[in-house]
Every structure is written in structure tokens, then in C-alpha cells.
Chain A
């Protein structure tokens, strides 16, 4: 470090003053910001049950549509508007523009009345009924399913159990092997007494999940992000985009207790998708029985679902039509980055169209 070239005292002062000015502008821009909306693409509610709502997104005009509709199954642990966060950063918009007829399940916010919802209720119940709605509306036997993160796990289970209703399956950043050595979340839950937690709390508070997510990289997510933000939102046109993301990050619904119990125990503690013995309701999910075409997409810098957790999928499934797409980005960037809009969404559409 003998050649250490640091700024002079006055330059340091100038840097601080500049930072202060940007921070002031940022705070002023935040104070002047309007209410932040979530989701941008027009949609209509086509089915509702309990807190679930099934939306159909307005197809893009003048685009030849895939006859087979696509159902997006999002995770329970966050809100699905991540897939449609802003005009120029919308996975849903990209799918519509490339000819897909897009539906999305919004799980809503479970409360204590939902604490006894099980994975069977979610997978063989809610998802199956939504799929039936699509089949009936479009008069088709099978639909395309696109599962995201935990929703990808649900979609894998659903497709394995209901192959007569799924034409093609797309999984995005989906944890299959939940015990890879680089999986921090999995590492943390191994000694947690999940039965005690669910028996005590009923539902798992969203704040607890948030705490875990933020503490995967606390210096970046709770510190550096806000220092960097100053450079971004001192320009007022970036404020809304920043706030949309900020709103999403902290918008974590509570988790229905029984479903959470089974999810953590069966997937994260006992790794049953890999080890076997996974029961959803009265039926065993054996991925070897999955013969449906699969497109598996993972993010190379994913700190929540490490790539290795997804990449094991072809070794476990029985499908001979398997395609893999590796995205050079993170768990969130795969939906919102400009690169994702240019590569991931078109790739999904192309893959689906080839199989329609």
C-alpha cells in the first residue's frame, strides 16, 4: 500500500459536500413523490377464491397469440407485481408482446383464518382450479405453466401430479436441491424448530422472512444500497422506479402456517424433491414421472436460490424435452433488468411457441 493515492483533505470535503447535496436532492424528491403504484399492465380479474385472484393480462394488439394460455404461478413469500414492476421492466409485458396469453395467480395476504391451508390446498386445490378455469375459457386440454421461485416448486409438483393438464412447464429461479453448500437460507433453517415456530406463531410473519432476506447481505442491502441510491434518485425521474422496488422488497405477506411448515420441513430441511418421499395430499411427487417439456431458467448470481439448486433438475425429471437457460444476473435482475427484457422473456416465448 506504499503507493496509496487518496484524495487530499479539501477533495474529501468536496466529496462530502457533493454527497450531501445529492442526498438533499434525493430526500426532497422522495418527499415530492406521489403514491407508488404496483403493476403497470392492464389486466382483468377472471376468477377469485378466498384471497386468491386470477388475472388475465390484456393481450398486446396486433400480435399473433399462442393458442395455449400461460399461467404464472408466483411465490407465496413476495408479491407478484415484481413481474410487472414498470413499463420498460415487465416480464409480463414482454410475454404479451411476444404472443403469449398471460394469466397470473395473486395469492393475496393470508391471515390467521388461512393458517390451516396446506401445500395440498395450494397445489391440488387453488392451482388446479385456476388451471381448470383457463382450460375452460380457452377450450383446451392443457395449459402452459410458468412457476417463479417457490411458485416454481409448486409448479413442478403440480405438473408431476397433473400432467394431463400441463402442456409445457417453465421454471424460473426455482430451488430444487435445497441443500447445496452455498445456500445460506437453507443453512440457517436447519436448526430451527419449525413445528415450534408454526405452533407458536400460527402464520409466519412476513417481517421474519424479510429479516432473513435482508440479512443474507446486510451491508449491501441495508447500507450500501441507500448510499448508492443518493446518486440515482437525486434525479427525480428515477424516484418512482426506486420506490417501486423498495415497496416490493418490504412487501412480504405472512405465510399460511401449515403450508410454511411443510415447505420448510419437506423442501429445506429434508430436501424431499431430491431425496424422495414428498407427499402432496395423498399423492407422492416423484419427479421421474414428470414427462412434460421443461424450460429451466436460473440466475448465475442468485443469492437466494443458488444456480446449483436449480441445475440439478434434469437429473431428477423423466422429461426428454429439457432446456436450460442461464442468466448472468441475480434473483431480482432476472425480471427487472434491461438485459432480462432483451434475453429471458423472448427466450421463454420462443420456447413456448415452438411447442404449441
Chain B
């Protein structure tokens, strides 16, 4: 508890300094030499965070970071507007002065080599959040891209120099020679692809810069057109209006054919670059007799195919099991066998009757002519057990098959009767 009080005290002391600084700044007519209040706030926060010793959950840490970043940008706006107002300007002039500062800052930024977000006015950084988050995201899954970028002489600044220089001269066009010509050409191609990606990324960033500038003009224009009851009266309202207008300008840009082309090109070139380096990595792994991505992909594809077949087979087995477990199949089989047995019994009775008739005829006459009839009838009776033996083998066949078998038997019996 005492520890907690200790860092809480530190925090409130820092906050008191912050409040004092703001009050001083508001009272001062010339504030140009003062240190940024937004920076002071960020520093005091960082000091407090370290003193607290708390280790928040990753999700919470992420939220805190966003809070602090936004706080920093919001304070930057507040500071810039306040400075203009403390210089004696009326609100309209103060805000216009702020807008002009933002424009100037962007113009300066656009003339700098590369696209280092740290060079942007703190408040306008929000305009480049998409670009910044893109860099962070791609860096996470394109390590080869980063590695390629470490080549001496290569940095993002070359893309601001337009066509005046060729960053790597003719090096990338030099033909590969000798035993290692293929790896050499692949490396050259990789660097070429890295340049192409960064050019696409640069074009995307430059388009954002242009739209950001337009949004400032749009903001100034909107302020002039607003009815007096809708003009912002507080910093927060001013910020919300700025967000609304920026979002409108951004949406118009994001729905344009230009954005679609720039974004598509940037994504596609990044993927081409990454794919190329993945192939180079695969070559290296193959050379070391290690499994590579292509081989793992093949195995995964085959595995998935086997899994699909497996699922189908499992389903069929389950269906068969279900049929067997319902008692339905054995009952039908038993019924069929009973029917067959009944038919055979009836047939047997007929045959016995025929035999009795023949015997009676024979006993009346000593003539051997009817003997052929006896042989024929006996042969038919002998053939039946063989047919009956097949029945058990049909236990697992479908109901339809069982019915067909029964029908066949009936026909056979009927034919036998007729023959008799």
C-alpha cells in the first residue's frame, strides 16, 4: 500500500507540475521558447509508469499505449491552439494560425527525404496512422524484406530524389556470370523488388500527404461556412470537428480509383518481394538438406486430401453401423429366411405329393417309363441346399438386395414347381 502511495504521490506531483506549466503558458505572451507541454506530459506519464512498477496484461498495456499516444496528440493540439490564443489572437485568427502551422509543417515534411513519421507535426500524426500501422504490420511478417533493406547505401531517402539518381547504378542490371550466376541474379532481383515495393509505399504515403494538406484547407473552409451556433466552442468540439472533416476527406480518397490502384500496387509488390525471398530461403534450406516451405506445403496439401477422404470413409462407416445397430437389418434378414423356408416347405410338400403319386403309379405298373420323371424331380430337390447356403453371406447387404434375393428364390421355386 505504501509503495502504491509512493508512486501515486509521484504521479500527482508530476501532474501538478503539468498544471502549473499550462497555467504559466496561458499567462505568458511569448511561449515560443517553452518546452512542449505535450512532451512534458508524456515524460511525466512515463516517469509515473516506471515508478508504479505495475506490469499490466498485454491487452491493457496496448490500450494504455494508445491512450498515451492519443493524449500526446490531443495535448499537442491544445498546446498549439492555446499558444496562438495566448499571443492575443481572437479565436478565429488563433485557429487559422494553427491551421497555417499545420500546413507549413506538412510542406516541410514533404520536402524531407524518406517518410519518417517523427518529422510530422505531433497533431497531424493522426493523418499518417494508416501508413505507420502499415509499416509496423509489414515489419512483423516480412523479415526478409527488412534484411534486404540493410544493404549499404540503401535507405528510404533515395525515393525522394526522383529520377535524378539511380540508387544502385547499373549494379542490378549486371548479368550474372559463372557458377553462382543464378543465386546472384536472384539476389539482384530481390533488391530490385525491394526498390519497387518501397517506391509503391512511397507513392501511397505521398498521396496521403496530399490529401492531408487538402483536409486542412477543407477544415478552414468548413469553419468559415458554419453557422455560429454550430461553431466549436471548446477544444474538444474543435477536435471532433477536425475528426469529422478529416474522415470525410479520407473517405473520398479511400473510395477513389487512385487509392485502389496505389493500395493494390503496394500490397502486390510487397507480396512479390516476400515471395521472392521465400523462394531464396527455400533454395538455401534445400542446399542444407533441410525441409523447406514448398515441401511442407506439399505435405500439408496431401494431408488435407487424406483427411477429406478419411471424413468420407468415417461417414460411410457410421451409416453402416447405424443400420446394423437399429435391429432393422437382422429382422429383415430373418424374415426373408423364414419366407424362404416356408416356400421350401410348401415346395417340399408338393414334391412329396408328386413322389407319392409316382410311387403309387409305379406300384400299379412295372413299366420303367416314368423313371425319367423321378430323376428329374430328384435332381431339382438336390440342387436347392446349395442355393440356400448363400443366404448368410447377404447379411450386410442393403434391404433392396435382400428383397431381390427373396424374389429370385420365389421365381426359382415357382419354376421348379412348374417343371415338376
Contact = CB atoms under 8 A, between A and B. Distances in A.
Contact of A9 (B71, B85, B243): B85
B370 to A, nearest CB: 64
Interface stretch (B103-111, B176-184, B261-269, B332-340): B261-269
Contacts of A224: 239-240, 243
Interface stretch (B146-154, B155-163, B222-230, B407-415): B222-230
B243 A219 contact: yes
Contacts of A16: 22, 75, 78, 82, 235
Contact of B63 (A10, A184, A243): A243
B140 A196 contact: no
Main secondary structure of the interface of A (DSSP, over half): helix
Interface in A95-137: 112-113, 115-117, 121, 125
A252 to B, nearest CB: 11
B275 A200 contact: yes
B417 to A, nearest CB: 46
Contacts of A347: none
A24 B26 CA distance: 21
Contacts of A217: 247, 251
A139 B68 CA distance: 56
A298 B173 CA distance: 55
A44 interface: no
B271 interface: yes
Contact of B52 (A6, A31, A184, A190): A31
B260 A205 contact: no
A12 B26 contact: yes
A47 interface: no
B133 A3 contact: no
B228 A5 contact: yes
A226 B254 contact: no
A227 B274 CA distance: 37
B11 A197 contact: no
A196 B239 contact: no
A7 interface: yes
Interface string B172-194: 00000000000000000000000
Nearest to A17: B19
Given A33-B60, A219-B247, A224-B240, A7 B234 contact: yes
A131 B177 CA distance: 62
Interface stretch (B297-305, B323-331, B375-383, B385-393): B297-305
Interface string A200-217: 111001011011001111
Given A121-B308, A191-B264, A193-B268, A227 B74 contact: yes
B68 A36 contact: no
Contacts of B54: 31
B254 A184 contact: yes
Interface string A17-59: 1011101101110110101100000000000000000000000
A226 B41 contact: no
B82 A13 contact: yes
B15 A31 contact: no
Given A1-B226, A4-B228, A201 B304 contact: no
A112 to B, nearest CB: 7
A29 to B, nearest CB: 10
Contacts of B260: 187-188, 190-191
Interface in B58-110: 59-60, 62-64, 66-71, 73-75, 78, 81-82, 85-86, 90-92, 94-95
A197 B268 CA distance: 7
Contacts of A214: 133
B356 to A, nearest CB: 58
Given A13-B26, A27-B64, A31-B54, A192 B133 contact: no
Interface in B94-148: 94-95, 126, 129-130, 133-134, 137, 140-141
Contacts of A215: 130, 133, 254
B70 A227 contact: yes
Nearest to A197: B271
Interface centre among B23, B56, B271 (most CB of A within 10 A): B271
A222 B224 CA distance: 27
Interface residues of A, number: 72
A218 interface: yes
A9 B26 contact: yes
Contact of B233 (A6, A24, A250): A6
A15 interface: yes
Nearest to A112: B300
Contacts of A197: 267, 271
A28 B157 CA distance: 41
A210 B69 CA distance: 19
A196 B70 contact: no
Nearest to A202: B297
Interface string B29-71: 0000000000001000100000010101101101110111111
Contacts of A9: 26, 82, 85-86
A214 B130 CA distance: 8
A4 B92 contact: yes
B233 A5 contact: yes
A57 B228 CA distance: 54
A350 B129 CA distance: 44
Name the residue in A9, A19, A33 with the highest tally of chain B Cβ atoms < 10 Å from its Cβ. Answer: A9
Contact of B137 (A19, A125, A208, A246): A208
Contacts of B268: 191-193, 196
Nearest to A196: B271
B70 to A, nearest CB: 4
Contact of B231 (A1, A187, A219, A223): A1
A13 B21 CA distance: 10
B405 to A, nearest CB: 31
A199 interface: yes
A201 B141 contact: yes
Given A7-B233, A27-B64, 5 more contacts: A9-B85, A23-B71, A191-B263, A210-B137, A246-B62
A-B CB proximity, top 9 nearest: A191-B264, A6-B91, A3-B228, A226-B70, A116-B304, A200-B275, A13-B26, A200-B271, A219-B243
Interface of B: 11, 15, 18-19, 22-23, 25-26, 41, 45, 52, 54, 56-57, 59-60, 62-64, 66-71, 73-75, 78, 81-82, 85-86, 90-92, 94-95, 126, 129-130, 133-134, 137, 140-141, 223-226, 228, 231-236, 238-240, 243, 246-247, 250-251, 254-255, 259-261, 263-265, 267-268, 271-272, 274-275, 278, 293, 296-297, 300-301, 303-304, 308, 311
Interface of A: 1-7, 9-13, 15-17, 19-21, 23-24, 26-28, 30-31, 33, 35-36, 112-113, 115-117, 121, 125, 184, 187-188, 190-193, 196-197, 199-202, 205, 207-208, 210-211, 214-220, 222-224, 226-227, 229-230, 242-243, 246-247, 250
7 contacts: A6-B238, A7-B233, A10-B26, A13-B82, A19-B71, A192-B264, A192-B267
